[in-house]
């Protein structure tokens, strides 16, 4: 069904055609997103309320309202430049590093404000894991990469570190490939293994949410398949918010999908619904490759 956003009839026309989301934006309106009812049954880990972000004068995010549900994989999709990475990086305040960035609105992590003046950003980031496009193992052994966050927190008990290392590498589907060379450099692994090592490092810290910014974009198809399988398996145990350019990837790995366009959240719902029976015609056009 096509969207019916702000379908005000023009005064001299008996039947105005409903505006699409994109047309409404072009007319300067801010249509509310189409949020599917299933989300109301989920427990939010991250809550985003009326969130706007500006790079200097340029507004990149417009009144984003959404929640990231507990124990689920949520994919952010949309055309290049629509604000997916900006939104993801706002969750762990990586955008603080850019001088010109200003924000309005709120975000919270399990009820705790993310953007309060009193927040210790370092402590806040410890509660979240981040996996980047390009894997970034530290120049140290596989073992030390995985237990890095624990070491920083002063944990030096060998048995604890060994347990966490094994559990995290198993969780990242890497254990069998590296268990006999834990003390060789993380940099000696293949690209796909390095990315799974980064995921192991992230989950070792037991993050409340794992943020992934196009984690497969630098990988070949086989390594991509392994990382996708892994992300899919993280469901239930971890809350994941992932940016992807690749719609097939979103369909394969995620429970929920949020479609963004020109800095707005357009539609958000179960991945199967977004791809097979979206509410808005804009979403349908995007997922079927007719625009974007
Ligand atoms: N550091 C920056 N300074 C100024 N503008 C920026 C900066 N980073 C991003 N932008 C702008 O903000 C908007 C959103 O960019 P963002 O990278 O978040 O989009 P995206 O959906 O992740 O794109 P892509 O899929 O191409 O990575 C774009 O118009 C972009 O040019």
Is residue 102 a part of any domain in this protein? yes
Residue 51 maps to which CATH number?
Answer: 3.40.50.300
User: Distance, CA 114 to ligand 1 centroid (Å)?
Assistant: 21
Is residue 261 a part of any domain in this protein? yes
- Of the chain, the percentage scoring pLDDT greater than 90 comes to 80
Is residue 220 a part of any domain in this protein? yes
What is the average pLDDT across 64-87? 97
* pLDDT, tens digit (0-9, with 9 covering 90-100), for 124-148: 999 999 999 999 999 999 999 999 9
Is residue 44 a part of any domain in this protein? yes
> Per the structure block, which two tokens stand in for 40?
């109301």
* pLDDT, tens digit (0-9, with 9 covering 90-100), for 188-198: 999 999 999 99
Per-residue pLDDT band at 16 (split at 50, 70, 90): low
Which range (59-63, 181-185, 219-223) has the least confidence? Answer: 219-223
Q: How many domains does the chain have?
A: 1
Domain interval for residue 235: 31-127+207-287
- Separation of CA 184 from chain center: 31
Q: Which residues line ligand 1 (CB under 6 A)?
A: 55, 58, 60, 78, 80-86, 98, 245
3-state secondary structure the chain: CCCCECCCCCCCCCCCCCECHHHHHHCCCCCCCEECHHHHHCCEEEEEEEEEEEECCEEEEEEEEEEEECCCEEEEECCCCCCHHHHHHHHCCHHHHCCCEEEEEEEEECCEECCCCCCCHHHHHHCEEEECCCCCCCCCEHHHHHCHHHHHCCCCCHHHHHHHHHHHHHHCCCHHHHCCCCCCEHHHCCHHHHHHHHHHHHHHCCCCEEEEECCCCCCCHHHHHHHHHHHHHHCCCCCEEEECCCHHHHHHHCCEEEEEECCEEEEEEEHHHHHHCCCCHHHHHHHCCCCC
Closest atom of ligand 1 to 56 CA is 4
Predicted-complex ipTM score: 0.98
User: Distance, CA 45 to ligand 1 centroid (Å)?
Assistant: 25
Is residue 221 a part of any domain in this protein? yes
- pLDDT the model gives residue 7: 42
Closest atom of ligand 1 to 260 CA is 21
Q: Model-level pTM?
A: 0.91
- Determine contact, residues 74/51, Cβ cutoff 8 Å: no
- pLDDT the model gives residue 136: 92
What is the average pLDDT across 141-156? 96
Is residue 174 a part of any domain in this protein? no
Is residue 213 a part of any domain in this protein? yes
- pLDDT the model gives residue 202: 95
Is residue 39 a part of any domain in this protein? yes
Closest atom of ligand 1 to 87 CA is 18
């Amino acid at each position: 069904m096509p969207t019916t956003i702000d379908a005000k009839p023009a005064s001299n026309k008996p039947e105005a055609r409903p505006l699409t989301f994109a047309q409404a934006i072009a007319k300067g309106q801010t249509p509310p997103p189409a949020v599917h009812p299933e989300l109301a049954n989920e427990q939010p880990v991250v809550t985003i309320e009326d969130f706007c972000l500006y790079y200097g004068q340029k507004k990149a995010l417009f009144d984003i309202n959404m929640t990231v549900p507990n124990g689920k994989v949520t994919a952010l999709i949309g055309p290049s430049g629509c604000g997916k990475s900006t939104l993801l990086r706002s969750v762990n305040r990586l955008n603080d590093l850019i001088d010109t960035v200003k924000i309005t609105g709120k975000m919270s992590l399990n009820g705790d404000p993310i953007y309060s003046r009193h927040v210790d950003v370092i402590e806040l980031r410890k509660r979240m894991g981040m996996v980047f496009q390009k894997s970034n193992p530290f120049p140290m052994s596989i073992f030390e990469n995985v237990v890095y966050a624990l070491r920083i927190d002063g944990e030096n008990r060998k048995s604890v570190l060994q347990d966490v290392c094994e559990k995290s590498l198993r969780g990242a589907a890497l254990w069998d490939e590296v268990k006999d060379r834990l003390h060789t450099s993380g940099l000696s692994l293949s690209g796909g293994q390095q990315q799974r090592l980064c995921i192991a490092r992230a989950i070792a810290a037991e993050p409340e949410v794992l943020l992934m910014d196009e984690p497969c974009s630098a990988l070949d198809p086989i390594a991509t398949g392994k990382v996708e399988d892994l992300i899919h398996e993280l469901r239930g145990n971890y809350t994941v918010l992932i940016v992807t350019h690749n719609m097939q990837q979103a369909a394969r790995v995620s429970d929920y999908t949020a479609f963004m366009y020109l800095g707005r959240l357009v539609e958000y719902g179960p991945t199967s619904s977004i791809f097979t029976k979206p509410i808005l015609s804009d979403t349908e056009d995007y997922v079927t490759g007719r625009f974007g």
